[in-house]
Structure 1
Amino acid sequence: MMPRTTNVKQAKINSISHSSLFQIGDTKEIEPQADVLAVQKEGGISSDKGFELNQYRIFNTTTQSIPDPEIVVGSHHHHQNIYVSNIDVTAISTSAITQFGSSKKINSLARLKHIRILKDENEEED
């Protein structure tokens, strides 16, 4: 991978979160990972006890890598550098990547578990 010059005149990004990346330029390897547990409870929640990541199967499973595709012999010539005048990004979230340049390897993983605890309709309100 031949390194190139990347010129970005202006980048406006509203939000980057949860192991995400905004990359200007070439890189060899990017591996963002996010484990997210979101708990919503009607009436609020006073503690995060009882909501440990390791008790949910999604966070304990081993992921299987996608096998590399068939090797294709070829040559690429990037004769020109990268020029970007303006970029406007609303949000980059949960192991997402926005990149101007080349990457040899990207391995991104996001595991999310949402739990919603609703009040029983028969319960009286305090």
Structure 2
Amino acid sequence: MIKRMVYTQHVDITSVLIGSIVDIGDVYRAAPSSKVLAVQKEGLQFKGDIYDFEDFPIFSQESSPPLQPIQMDSFHYQNRPIEVDYVRVVGVSTAAVFQIGGIDHIDAINYTKHFRLLREEEQ
């Protein structure tokens, strides 16, 4: 991969969370990953650290095999720099990639288990 210079006037990113990546420039490979256990509980009290990833089968599943690469018509400028005036990003989250530049391979994976605990179900 040819490495190019990147010139940016202004990049405004509010938040980058949970295994995400911000790249400026050309990159050969990015592999963001995350495991998220999100519990929404009704009521005032919440006890932390009472759940483990091992308690939920989704976190031990193998990911599906990668899809075949696709061919796309694209423009490329061998030795020209990348020039960006202004970019505003509100959020990049959960194994995502925000990039100004080129990339050869992306291997992103996310496992998320989200559930609610309602008062009537606890009894």
In the TM superposition, 1:36-55 aligns within 5 A as 36-43=36-43, 44-49=45-50, 51-55=51-55
Partner of 2:27: 27
Partner of 2:68: 68
State the 4+ residue runs in structure 1 displaced beyond 6 angstroms: none
Q: Distance in 1 between matches of 2:24 and 2:65?
A: 26
1:104 matches 2:111? no
Structure 2: segments with no counterpart, 5+ residues: none
Residue identity matched to 1:78 = Y
The range that moved more, 35-44 or 60-69, is 60-69
TM-score if structure 1 supplies the norm length?
0.84
Residues 26, 45 of structure 1: alpha-carbon distance in 2 compared, 3 angstrom cutoff: same
Q: CA RMSD in A?
A: 2.2
Partner of 1:78: 77
Query: How much does 1:55 deviate?
Result: 1.4
Q: Distance in 2 between matches of 1:27 and 1:77?
A: 15
Structure 1: segments with no counterpart, 5+ residues: none
Residues 120, 77 of structure 1: alpha-carbon distance in 2 compared, 3 angstrom cutoff: closer
Partner of 1:114: 114
Could you list the per-position Cα deviations for residues 35-83 of structure 1 after superposition, in whole angstroms to 9, with x for gaps in the alignment?
Answer: 000112111312321x10011111000112224337x7xxx75242210
TM-score if structure 2 supplies the norm length?
0.86
Q: Who wins on radius of gyration, i.e. which is larger?
A: 1
What percentage of aligned pairs have identical amino acids? Answer: 31
